[in-house]
Amino acid sequence: MGAVAPGIGPTPVDAQSVETQSQEMDDYSSPELVAYGKRSPYVTSMRQPVNGRPSPDEFGLVFHIGTPLQDQVGAITPSALHYFGTTRGSFVPHIDPAEHRLMIHGMVDRELIFTMDELKRFPSVTRLHFIECAGNRSNSRHRTIIESHGMTSCAEWTGVLLRTLLEEAGVQDGGEWIIAEGLEEVKGTSSLPTAKAMDDIIVAYAMNGEPLRPQQGFPLRIVVPGFEGILSVKWLRRIKVVDRFYMTYNDYGHLRQDPSDAALSYQIGPKSVITSPSGGQELPGQGFYEVRGLAWSGGGRVSRVEVSTDGGRSWFDADLRGTPQPMAHTAFSFNWTWDGSETVLLSRCIDEIGQIQPTREEVAEFWGRPGVRGQDNSIQPWRVERDGSVHNAIV
Amino acid sequence: MGAVAPGIGPTPVDAQSVETQSQEMDDYSSPELVAYGKRSPYVTSMRQPVNGRPSPDEFGLVFHIGTPLQDQVGAITPSALHYFGTTRGSFVPHIDPAEHRLMIHGMVDRELIFTMDELKRFPSVTRLHFIECAGNRSNSRHRTIIESHGMTSCAEWTGVLLRTLLEEAGVQDGGEWIIAEGLEEVKGTSSLPTAKAMDDIIVAYAMNGEPLRPQQGFPLRIVVPGFEGILSVKWLRRIKVVDRFYMTYNDYGHLRQDPSDAALSYQIGPKSVITSPSGGQELPGQGFYEVRGLAWSGGGRVSRVEVSTDGGRSWFDADLRGTPQPMAHTAFSFNWTWDGSETVLLSRCIDEIGQIQPTREEVAEFWGRPGVRGQDNSIQPWRVERDGSVHNAIV
């Protein structure tokens, strides 16, 4: 078989030429580095603030730190790079897990309180799920992917199904909603349908094989698969079963109160984005490129991703990495040879319930205006110019 | 539905009692913590040295730092806790990726050299694989699981299939072996059958969504799925295609030279271990426990895990977490109610090619002695005493 990627240009060489490479050694014998590794000083991929604005009641600052998706490979977001959103700037509760408690009360047969040790003894699940802020893609003017899509991340979450705990407590008739409350000053409270709680919400104490990071809710949070990120309450301390939708601080954006309707409006639509090449990157020249990206949907598994390298005139199936998991990032790739001319790269996600990621025009028609704030799951176009520079094609 | 885990004992409580929890805040506004998160100061899970002895030629120290499997949940080992083995103590090469090169030479049509940027442009794969040192479980006297099994870890690796690069270079007739060489002083060189290289070896530049850590081979290593860890050469700089098995520094343990035979002797057998409860842990009392563990095999996917809670008299299927991946850790769990009497917990792995994890007696019969060094994949028994303490049952 011949060369698959002739445009990349590895160089035939004198067989001795790698002998001269440095053999300088770093000493990792310090107790800290034996106990817990660190990344190379040459690796500088980092999150960055992508959104800061006063909260609706001016109580605090809505603050978002985005994941550097341009550097992402695979489905898993490293915990240290997981996106982070709060309504109180960069402050997070300092919680001693030995002192932490979760209470379940309200319309239940038995009001219960759990220590962390007790929670960890319950039957557990480990599942890959994305969490995405509804404000991701909040307008169209973003220059780079960390600005446009950085508020979505994906981790392997471990914890107890909320259903398991609610069955311990015994939900009473009429307990159609739950209020989940966190420990930050604004409580992070959200209203969620009990039907969702009895389905797949995880009371999670670990991510990616280790305890939650403080910025992701240490020691306890809920993960609400497929729903807007604000509902995945961090620093969880209380779940109250109630008979109605509560208009809580975090519910300001969710005005629909019918459980089925509200549940649907909470759900993230089918979505995808090409992470490489993406805005701000430079292609070094014509030739072979593996177009890489991520797809996800609140509706279930990603079943197919299509890529266009000619602005939407033709579409081809991308390769999916691994086994797509429900409500999880799925990495995709597509082999492309760039001829050096200007073009636009697109991707679209199709999920297992048949939802197709819409175009920007379709979203605009549905909502009556382009670039709606929140839940804009339209196709992201990246324009490649003749000089190899890549730009957001939304003008 | 009633309570599933009545032995755990959550407490009915006054509904006000969680209101008193601390709301002390930590400020994560420093540029370092905005850019890259860190774990809670309350999380102290750490690796520890589990083996130190002079290498066979006394050139250096064979040094191993084990993963704290007792704290592991899910399949993914956090990169900072991935096990680490070298023949030179804690020293690792300090490599500037901009200067790093991979050379492919020997019995090829075109000798080639690749920069890191060039490698990253090739079609890539992302796959979950364990890496395990053949010296894991090197004797039976271990008190805890980090001592007995800590030299296995699992990550989502991303890189180029070695096959893709060898096809670029064009392997010549008779090039039945490859030598993979790293940048450390002892070169880390290993002989591998070209058949394995053309199958599933990954030239990996990333793990768990970010670049390799220095202790895991930054910026480049090979991952040889299912084979002994020493073959997954780190700090990779050269691959030479040759016509025979070379007796290199790292080949000291692999004396069989026929490719098919050697490949089999390289392969990790079906293996599993209960991580919780495990040696050194304490059960707080009778009642419900979720028995948790990991299973893996060099032979392919884990197809089934069985657990015994009565020293092997009866066996039951454990629940597997997620979709088992080939040559990857698979998390399992089994619901158990402890009646307070002394007992022994066991697990055994069955893989997709039908291999069954053997008992210690079966291994001893095969090798002519118990507790052979290397490749001891026998069932690990943990004895639970009446006081709840857990011990290695191998006496």
Compute CA distances A312 → A225, A305, A391, B244, whole Å: 31, 14, 16, 52
- Whether A158 sits inside 8 A of B73 (CB atoms) is yes
Encode chain B (395 residues) as per-residue pLDDT tens digits: 344 454 565 665 554 456 555 568 888 878 888 899 999 999 999 998 886 665 555 555 667 899 999 999 999 999 999 999 876 667 788 999 999 999 999 999 999 999 999 999 999 999 999 999 888 876 667 899 999 999 999 999 999 999 999 999 999 999 999 999 998 767 778 889 999 999 999 999 999 999 999 999 999 999 999 999 989 999 999 999 999 988 777 776 555 556 555 555 688 999 999 999 999 999 999 999 999 999 999 999 999 999 999 999 999 999 999 899 999 999 999 999 999 999 999 999 999 999 999 998 888 787 766 555 557 899 999 999 999 999 999 86
Q: Which residues of A touch B27 (CB under 8 A)?
A: 90-91
**What's the gap in Å between the CA of A361 and the closest CA on chain B?**
33
Q: Which residues of B touch A209 (CB under 8 A)?
A: 72-78, 81
In a domain, B69, yes or no: no
CA separation for the pair A88, A21 (Å, rounded): 49
What's the distance, CA B284 to chain centroid? 30
Cβ–Cβ contact A129 with B under 8 A: no
B38 token code pair: 């860190």
What's the distance, CA A118 to chain centroid? 29
Of the candidates A71, A127, A208, which has its C-beta nearest B76's C-beta?
Answer: A208
Of the candidates B10, B92, B321, which has its C-beta nearest A168's C-beta?
Answer: B10
- Whether A213 sits inside 8 A of B37 (CB atoms) is yes
Q: Are residues B382 and B311 in the same domain?
A: yes
Q: Which residues of A touch B333 (CB under 8 A)?
A: 123-124
Predicted interface score ipTM higher than 0.85: yes
Range of the domain at B303: 271-392
Q: Are residues B247 and B314 in the same domain?
A: no
CA separation for the pair B220, B95 (Å, rounded): 10
A363 token code pair: 């979203």
In a domain, A294, yes or no: yes
In a domain, B53, yes or no: no
Q: Which residues of A touch B97 (CB under 8 A)?
A: 40, 42
Domain CATH code at residue B336: 2.60.40.650
CA separation for the pair B234, B216 (Å, rounded): 7
Q: Which residues of A touch B5 (CB under 8 A)?
A: 121-123, 164, 168
C-alpha neighbours within 13 Å on the C-beta side of residue A111: 15
Q: Are residues B106 and B214 in the same domain?
A: yes
Q: Are residues B110 and B203 in the same domain?
A: yes
- Whether A40 sits inside 8 A of B218 (CB atoms) is yes
Q: Are residues A209 and A298 in the same domain?
A: no
In chain A, the number of structural domains is 3
In a domain, A368, yes or no: yes
A167 token code pair: 């069955």
**What's the gap in Å between the CA of B46 and the closest CA on chain A?**
5
Domain CATH code at residue A220: 3.90.420.10
Predicted TM-score of the model (pTM): 0.92
**pLDDT reported for residue A15:** 46
In a domain, B54, yes or no: no
- Whether B73 sits inside 8 A of A124 (CB atoms) is yes
Residue from A1, A18, A183, A330 whose CB has the most chain B CBs within 10 Å, to mutate = A18
**Which residue of chain B has the CA closest to A14?**
B111
Q: Are residues A286 and A341 in the same domain?
A: yes
**Three-state helix/strand/coil letters over A295-332:** EECCCCCEEEEEEECCCCCCCEECEECCCCCCCCCEEE
**pLDDT reported for residue A6:** 46
Cβ–Cβ contact B101 with A under 8 A: yes
Q: Rounded to 5, what percent of chain A is helix, strand, coil?
A: 15, 35, 50
CA separation for the pair A289, A390 (Å, rounded): 14
In a domain, A16, yes or no: no
**Boundary (domain end) residue, out of B266, B289, B324:** B266
C-alpha neighbours within 13 Å on the C-beta side of residue A314: 4
- Chain B segment 248-277 residues within 8 A of A by beta carbon are none
In a domain, B286, yes or no: yes
Of the candidates A24, A36, A102, which has its C-beta nearest B81's C-beta?
Answer: A36
In a domain, B164, yes or no: yes
CA separation for the pair A188, A249 (Å, rounded): 7
Query: Residue A65: in which H helix or E strand, if any?
Result: strand A61-66
Q: Are residues B286 and B248 in the same domain?
A: no
Q: Are residues A56 and A155 in the same domain?
A: no
- Chain B segment 345-364 residues within 8 A of A by beta carbon are none
Cβ–Cβ contact B124 with A under 8 A: yes
Q: Are residues A63 and A190 in the same domain?
A: no
**pLDDT reported for residue B128:** 96
**Which residue of chain B has the CA closest to A80?**
B37
The torsion angle over the Cα atoms of residues A138, A360, A331 and A67, rounded to 10 degrees, is -20
Q: Which residues of A touch B16 (CB under 8 A)?
A: none
- Whether B125 sits inside 8 A of A321 (CB atoms) is yes
